[in-house]
Structures are given as structure tokens and as C-alpha cells.
Amino acid sequence: MTPIQPIIAIHGGAGTLTRTAIEPAQEAAYHEVLAEILAEAQQALSDGVAALDVVGLAVQRLEDHPLFNAGHGSVFTRAATHELDAAIMDGATLRAGAVAGVSHIRNPILAARAVLDQGEHVLMAGSGAETLARKLGLEMVEPLYFSTAFRREQLRRVQGTATTVLDHDGGAPLDEDRKFGTVGAVALDAYGNLAAATSTGGMTNKQPGRISDSAMIGTGTYADNRTAAISCTGTGEAFIRIVASHDLCARMAYAGATLDEAACQIVMERLPDIGGSGGLIAVDAKGNVSQRFNTEGMYRGYARVGEPPHTAIFGHPSDASSS
């Protein structure tokens, strides 16, 4: 039997600032953060840490960094508040946990993991999710913790309108609705187990109470050892309508599609058919990775144990790699 080569893949959102709008220092900062997180996750996999723990760790690190629209650095709702969503899933058991519309939990991905570990429910929202987080001793913060000047300026530009602005639009014209804010991670560990995790702050000027695909198992987040682990980013309503991440696994299981064939069908065909934009990262049970997107770029990277990490922002969307 060929030894399993563990792998981690992460994303910081599809769309990105355009090549002409992004400054060299900004581009370098994204690469640096992605590489640091990949290296930490890669080491954990090398040490035998389970995929479920590793994807949670990677997403927690992404939540803590203000460059990304998740955790610290999340966007504002129309009411100038923050409502965050997150989900995590274990491919070995199909156990899953998610939280939606939380405003006081420093790391929503830890709350999602707590829901998974409790085992009673899959998705908890609002005050109920926050009560559970407090009971379990998770770090709670005032909503101001999530705010940054950049996000407040994004809201200021569209307040009083019905426009929702997607991530990274703060320094670009409002009609450039091609940038999406979500973070995610997928992994295959040394034991052959898959896991996926996703977290988001949503969309600037969204209506309070809106829930993203990130929190919905089978849409923005899914993992099944028989097929793949997936984390999505983009126009969440479109991913919800096509049940994107589960559909990818179904295409592999029932139609015999490879990981990248299924990812391409979802991102390059199904989503555009209903006006959806964005991308996804996915790893299958054999260690293949696919990072498909139909936008100008996607903040992304992957790292196999024993090999240098790869990070990218722009480039060709057919970013797939075989083990």
C-alpha cells in the first residue's frame, strides 16, 4: 500500500483585488500570511495531528488576521453590526458543526467545532450559539473587536442603499462586484481522513439575519472520506441553490468524475448558469487537490508534507494538482 502523503489547502476568498489595483506590498502580505498558515498546518499534519484539528487550526489563524473577511476584519451589516458564520465537518464520521449570525465569539470556527463535539445539533444560530460558547469557555469579545477602519469605510460608501458589497471592494469602484470574502481549509491526514472548515463575515451592507453558504453543510462546506473535502467562497446564495459542495461529492461518487472534473463542472458551468461567481478548494481521498475559480483570482495555497508550500492569488483558474 502506498503511504498517504498528508496535504492541507486553504483559501482567503475568491475574486481578489485586480492585478492593476493591488499594490506589490499588499500582494506580498497575502502570500506571506498564506505561507505561514500553510507551514503551521503542514507541520501539524507531519506530526500526526488529525485533519479535523488541522483545518480548524488553519481557519482560526485566518480568522485572526484582518486581511481576510472572517473573525477580526469581518465586514459590517446594513445595521453597522457584525454577524459571522462558520462550519466544520469530519469526513470520517460525517459529523458536522456550524454557527450562524454570531457577534461575540472571537473565533466562530471554534464554536462550530464545539457544536460538532457536543453532537446534539449541527447548526446553531445567534444567542443560542453564543450561550453554548460561553458555557464551554470559548473566548468572547465585544463586537468592536471585529471592526477595522477598512471595513467601516466599505460600509460608509454604500449605507443608505440596497447595495451589498463583496470583500475587497473597499478600494475599487462599486460596480466591481467580483470579490468575495470567506476563508476555508481542507485536509487529508496520515490516517486517510478528510476534513473541511469555512468561516466568513458575510457581505458588506447585507441585511441583518442573512446566513451564508459557509454555515450550511453541503453548500459551502462538506467532507466525506469516500470522495472529498470542500470549502467554497463566492456568491453564497448561488452556492446554496445548487448545494455546491455536496454536488461535487455526488458527481464523484455517482458519475465517476475525478476531483478536478467535478470541481470544474460546479465552478465553471453550474454556478455561471445561475449567475454565481466564486471558487472552491477541494482535496480528495487520494490526496489530489483542486482550486477552481471563475473570478480574476482567489487567495489560495496548498502544502503536502515533505514539500514546499505553494501560494497564489492570480493565475489560471484550473489550479489542480495530483498526488
Binding residues for substrate: 210-213, 233-236
3-state helix, strand, coil in the chain (%, to 5): 35, 25, 40
Find the largest Cα–Cα distance for the chain.
61
Of 182, 204, 221, 311, which one is the catalytic site residue?
A: 182
The residue written with cell numbers 471585529 in the block is 146
117: left (phi over 0), alpha (psi -120 to 50) or beta: alpha
Residues in the chain: 323
Query: Among 249, 237, 179, 195, which Cα is nearest to 12's?
Result: 179
Instruction: Tell me which DSSP letter residue 145 carries.
Output: G
Q: Is 182 a catalytic residue?
A: yes
Task: List residues forming the annotated binding site.
Answer: 210-213, 233-236
The residue written with cell numbers 465552478 in the block is 267
One-letter identity of residue 278: G
Q: How far is CA 94 from CA 59, 65, 104, 258, in A?
A: 19, 29, 28, 21
Residues with a known catalytic role = 182
